[in-house]
Amino acid sequence: MAIVLVHGAWSGSWSWSDAARLLRHRGYEVHAPTLTGLAERSHIAPKHVTLESHIADIAGLLRYEDLTKVLLVGHSYAGMVITGAADRERERIAGMIYLDAFLPESGQALFDIIAPEGRDLQLKMAAEFDGGQSVPRPPHAPPPDAGLAAKWASMYTPQPIGTIEQPYVSTRGVDTMDGAAWPPRHYALCAAYKGSAFQKLAVKVKGKPGWTGSEFDAQHDIVRTHPREVADRIAGIASGLGIARPYA
134 catalytic residue (yes or no)? no
Q: Which of 76, 134, 196, 239 is catalytic?
A: 76
Q: What is the DSSP string of 169-227?
A: --SS---TT-GGGS--EEEEEETTSTT-HHHHHHHHHTT-TTEEEEEESS-TTHHHH-H
Q: Distance between CA atoms of 213 and 66, rounded to whole angstroms?
A: 29
CB 132 within 8 A of CB 164: no
Which of 221, 156, 223, 183 is closest to 82 using CA atoms? 183
Q: Distance between CA atoms of 107 and 244, rounded to whole angstroms?
A: 35
| Residues with Cβ within 8 Å of residue 119, at least 6 apart in sequence | 111
Q: What DSSP state is assigned to residue 108?
A: B
Sign of CA dihedral 36, 51, 135, 128: positive
User: What are the residue numbers of the active site?
Assistant: 76
